[in-house]
Structure 1
């Protein structure tokens, strides 16, 4: 649902389509998440024991392999339902991956067009697809998957992604101040209160991830990975003499 923003620079009639996409996407996903979590809480106890031998004893807190949805389905409908739930989750994952792969390549494409990545990545094939970006993304994803550390990588990314969302919202305030006359086909809802509330809440979550003994082991590596990109960015700008292209639209 949020990947539409990755391709915002290429969306036709963004003034109409971006707000609609975000509204319906957020609403639908929020409703599904809410109903799913209600079902989990009604079916399984929130607290559990690591040493529990049954699904009810382990609860949501210590669901085996963190598969809460599968555990809830098994409690409600039996072991056969757990298999069906696992298959449905797998199908959903493939659908999610499809959107992530297609939208992710557009990020590299935009970076290259702004002079912040290899120029060849900013080229489209005859069908308008960033072919080189897809290839690079495929190779990098394959290397990460082959590392066998998927769980750790996922934990690193959660913090890093949340941090970038915070920075994006902060950038909204900066652009509004530095470019007050810029054309903005899409206006941020509830500005400045909603973005400010998001920055405050998400920052507190980031801080909790960094300080909590349970999550800090993965949050700090995620932060270091992000910080490692700062010198790379300035080094790239220096050797390529790149300048960031101004926004076509703006926030």
Structure 2
């Protein structure tokens, strides 16, 4: 009996929808509050999103070269293994499983619940269903877990099921976001726009009591780095399409193209949305929107009382679709690690629908645990540093592989090489360095989680050699 293999059923449109859909969750409706509080001006708010967008697109088009060279399931895990060694790849895979993917799935699931509570107050996160002493469980957490389990089950039925959900919901949310932005520009308030943009580049920290703190020059760079934690999280997960290379038609062409198209579409929407915010809401209302829900405040300013319902429905669609993409693609990394003998053996098996069912369920279990922990928000602060670190290592891998394997087939070459990849690396080093200096609480916890992977790697190797 021949071993089951992945079925290439996803086209360019499907792949692009996975890129865009996995990127757009609830972040664009929320994190602009923290960014505005840190930078204190309309110009720098938009600049943070432009810088993040430039970094994201640059990284995405650089990954195009690697995806063409190694069009296999596992994506970034494979690239790191080929450019460096199995240990570096394992540290990425471990961090991805322990925090990056499962923590993000949990956070997006709870965001779905929070906005569902606008329409169904019975699922509010402020209610307590069960108090176990060491943990309290709210209906919002239960609903989040239910959606994660539901989407996991759907994706165990085959990649076509996940594909239909992803393409449909991503199309709906792109059209909805575009509609919200256009409506916002039609309702633009001239006095608000003028006030926000009159001192657009005067960077300062806004305080809840209405006062401000000015920055010395180096402190301003730290403020930008702190602000970018939110925008980078909101723009992350674009690389998820690389994990499902085995299920994409003509992956050498379509992965690179979908990375570029998906990140470009999302960057245009994100920057436009923030420009729209500055024409609708005074800076203080962006910075100190209730529960950071800038999208709700903007939608209410545009649509009146119905705005809350409009934005709640948009975010429910957005987060549900986002989690579908994250769940679908993430499991392929653990599958590939298991194939290398570095994860539970059973996780490296495909079911009759040609999907890694056990990998999907183990991902579901850990994401559900993170939902119950209530620590997903803290986790996401920790992982931006680790995420950018691995992006940098992967892009440096392009330079290494050009030296190690100059004659390897490269159906798609990194756009702007070596200048653009080098700019990304410099920006990434700057971002990580500033976080280490100014926001160490955003760096060391995630770094420690990654380093825990070192002893785990050698335990896995020993287990593998014993079985062999």
1:73 is aligned to 2:299: yes
Q: Distance in 1 between matches of 2:293 and 2:463?
A: 47
Q: Distance in 2 between matches of 1:178 and 1:241?
A: 28
Matched, 1:95 2:321: yes
14 and 110 in structure 1: CA distance in 2 versus 1, 3 angstrom threshold:
same
Pairing 1:231–2:468 present: no
Q: What is the aligned partner in structure 2 of residue 45 from structure 1?
A: 282
Q: Which residue does the alignment assign to 1:220?
A: 444
**CA displacement 1:92-120 (0-9 Å, x = unmatched):** 01100000000000111111122221221
Residue in structure 1 matched with residue 464 of structure 2 by the alignment: 240
Q: How does 1:108-119 map to 2 (within 5 A)?
A: 108-119=334-345
* C-alpha spacing 1:120/1:203, structure 2 compared with 1 (3 Å): same
The alignment partner of 2:409 has SS state of coil
- Tell me how far 1:150 sits from its aligned partner: 2.1
Number of residues of Structure 1 aligned to a counterpart in Structure 2: 229
Structure 2 CA distance for aligned equivalents of residues 118 and 183 of structure 1: 33
Structure 1 residue 178: deviation in Å?
1.8
How far apart, CA to CA, are the structure 1 residues paired with 2:444 and 2:346?
33
Residue 12 to residue 172, structure 1, CA distance change in 2 (3 Å): same
Structure 1 residue aligned with 2:65? none
Which residue of 416, 429, 434 maps to 1:190? 416
1:9 CA displacement: 4.8
Q: Which moved more, 1:77-86 or 1:231-240?
A: 231-240
Q: Corresponding residue for 1:82?
A: 308
Higher mean C-alpha deviation, range 92-101 or range 21-30:
21-30
How do residues 173-212 of structure 1 correspond to structure 2 at under 5 angstroms?
A: 173-212=399-438
User: In the TM superposition, what is the alpha-carbon distance from 1:44 to its structure 2 partner?
Assistant: 2.1
Q: Which residue of 1 aligns with 2:333?
A: 107
Distance in 1 (CA, whole Å) between partners of 2:419 and 2:458 is 33
Question: Structure 1 residue 32: deviation in Å?
Answer: 1.0
Which segments of structure 1 move beyond 4 Å, counting only runs of 4 or more? none
Q: Specify which of 9, 13, 17 is matched with residue 250 of structure 2.
A: 13
2:354 corresponds, among 128, 132, 135, to: 128
CA contact (8 A) 1:14 1:185 kept: no
Out of 29-38 and 158-167, give the one that drifted further: 158-167
1:195-227 CA distances to partner (integer Å, 9 max, x unpaired)? 111111122112222222xx4323221121122
Structure 1 residue 123, shift from structure 2 partner:
0.7
Identify if the C-alpha distance between structure 1 residues 107 and 86 changes in structure 2 by more than 3 Å, giving closer, same or farther: same
SS in 2 for 1:60: helix
Q: Equivalents in 2 of 1:68, 1:221: separation in Å?
A: 28
Say whether the 8 Å CA contact 2:347–2:356 is kept in structure 1.
yes
Change (3 A) 1:68 1:24: same
CA RMSD of aligned residues (A): 1.9
Could you tell me how far 1:10 is from its partner in structure 2? 4.5
If the length of structure 1 is used for normalisation, what is the TM-score?
A: 0.84
> Which structure 2 segments of 5+ residues have no match?
1-18, 20-237
Q: Structure 1 pair 230/41, CA: closer, same or farther in 2 (3 Å)?
A: farther
Is this contact kept in 1: 2:382–2:441, CA < 8 A?
A: no
The CA deviation at 1:159 is 2.3
Q: CA distance change for structure 1 residues 7 and 188 in 2, over 3 Å: closer, same or farther? A: farther
Distance, in Å, in 2 between the alignment partners of 1:161 and 1:154 is: 10
Q: CA deviation at 1:186?
A: 3.3
Residue 183 of structure 1 deviates from its aligned partner by 2.8
